Amino acid sequence: MARIKIDLPAGFPFSIAIPVRIQDVNYGGHVGNDAILSIMHEARIRFLESLGYKELDKEAGAGLIMADVAVAYKGEAFHGDVFDVAVAAGEFSAFGFELFYRITTQRNAQTITIAEAKTGMICFDYHQRKIVKLAPDMQTRLEAGK
């Protein structure tokens, strides 16, 4: 079976601690794949806010819409774990970019990688309901991560 391989960037300019909630745990007793996507979404919102952006900025007209997602699950996570979710932007195009995520937790004095992921983000005008170009200043801030 071919596995997804995600080439993560060398550095991550942003990270946030997100605790695993009981509703994140599935019938298998570990964090569910749907919860990982929700946790990535929370980290993405916080990353964008740290740069002064909103994912959905209807007042400004343009926002972001997710075009695709890839997740490589690396380890199990459990209720009580606290994730360190690191986020970085890269692979810029005229209309969007990729966001990369590295999700880890500390357990028994060891760092455990839970998942590596990326989302393809496209700039989208919510008033006109169409794709728009990535603003150069946004790319500059995303690349710098600050």
Strands (E), the chain: 14-19, 62-73, 82-90, 96-107, 110-125, 130-131
Least confident of 51-55, 101-105, 122-126: 51-55
State the Cα–Cα distance between residues 73 and 54, nearest whole angstrom: 27
- Supply the pLDDT for residue 57: 72
Mean pLDDT, the chain, whole residue set:
93
Query: Would you give the DSSP letter of residue 21?
Result: P
Comparing CA positions, the residue from 42, 57, 45 lying closest to residue 124 is 57
- Supply the pLDDT for residue 62: 76
CATH topology of domain 14-140: Thiol Ester Dehydrase; Chain A (3.10.129)
Residue 12 CB neighbour total at 10 angstroms: 18
- Supply the pLDDT for residue 31: 94
- Supply the pLDDT for residue 61: 61
Residue 145 has pLDDT above 90, yes or no: no
Give the start-to-end residue ranges of the domains of the chain. Answer: 14-140
What pTM did the predictor assign?
A: 0.94
Q: How confident is the model at residue 10 (pLDDT cuts 50, 70, 90)?
A: very high
Residue pLDDT, tens place only, 48-97: 999 988 888 755 567 999 999 999 999 999 999 999 999 999 999 999 99
